[in-house]
Structure formats: C-alpha cells, structure tokens
C-alpha cells in the first residue's frame, strides 16, 4: 500500500515555464488537497477536491489549476511559473467527509523557480 505518491520529488523551473505536479493515492479516498509550505508561513491550502469532477479553492489558489478526472489522481498545474511559487508542495488525502478521519500526506515536491 503506497499511500500518497508525489512526483517529481525535486524540480527547477525558469520563470514563465509551466509544469504539472503529480499526486496519486491508492486508498480510494474521495477527498484530496494541495498545500504549499513556506518558511515563516507554514502550510497553506491551495486547492481541494471532494471527488472526481469536483474542486474548490483554498487560501492561495492564484497561479494554480487543478482538475480531478479520477478518484486516484489530483494533479496541480502551474500555468506560468513565478519565483514566488518556489516552495515545497504537499498533496494529501482523506477518506470521509465528516471530520473523523486523519489526512495522509505525500513526501512533497520541492520546487525552485529561477
């Protein structure tokens, strides 16, 4: 049971480039999220999904796109990378929508924008 898998683990981009951060979970969880972690800011929610075809914005959604075509996958797209998007990105999932189940996190993608 792999849990939540994020790829790539590290990435360096130039300003203006686009890329997709991949996230997959094998626990059949309906709920998935993307967070970014920055020094002094903690973890902040970017986007959230409650199932295939349903997404919602978090605290810092600008500059990022998401879609959820399957239960297993929740990719995060950077449309035109900016230095302010240099961060560590974490994907998370959880099973039930009643607050009774903990969230499972991937190991993160460390992204640098030059």
Partner 1 sequence: KQEVTQIPAALSVPEGENLVLNCSFTDSAIYNLQWFRQDPGKGLTSLLLIQSSQREQTSGRLNASLDKSSGRSTLYIAASQPGDSATYLCAVSRRAGGTSYGKLTFGQGTILTVHP
Where along the sequence are the contacts to partner 1 (CB under 8 A)? Answer: 4, 31, 33, 35, 40-45, 48, 50, 54, 56, 58, 90, 92, 94, 96-108
* Enclosing H/E stretch for 38: strand 31-38
Q: Minimum CB separation from partner 1 for residue 94, in Å? A: 5
Whats the size of the chain, residue-wise? 114
List, in sequence order, every residue forming a beta bridge with 24; answer none if it has no partner.
Answer: 5, 73
Contact between 113 and 85 under an 8 Å Cβ cutoff? The reply is yes
Q: Minimum CB separation from partner 1 for residue 114, in Å? A: 21
Q: Minimum CB separation from partner 1 for residue 5, in Å? A: 11
Q: Minimum CB separation from partner 1 for residue 83, in Å? A: 22
3-state DSSP assignment of residue 84 = helix
Is the Cβ of residue 17 or residue 88 nearer to partner 1 in the bound state? 88
Helices (H), the chain: none
Is the Cβ of residue 17 or residue 75 nearer to partner 1 in the bound state? 75
């Amino acid at each position: 049971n792999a849990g939540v898998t994020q790829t790539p683990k590290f990435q360096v981009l130039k300003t203006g480039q686009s890329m997709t951060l991949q996230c997959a979970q094998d626990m059949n969880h309906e709920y998935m999220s993307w967070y970014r972690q920055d020094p002094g800011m903690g973890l902040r929610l970017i986007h959230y999904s409650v199932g295939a075809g349903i997404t919602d914005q978090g605290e810092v959604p600008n500059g990022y796109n998401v879609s959820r075509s399957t239960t297993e996958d929740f990719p995060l797209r950077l449309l035109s990378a900016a230095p302010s998007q240099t961060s560590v990105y974490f994907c998370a999932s959880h099973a039930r929508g009643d607050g009774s189940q903990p969230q499972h996190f991937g190991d993160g993608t460390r992204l640098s924008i030059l």
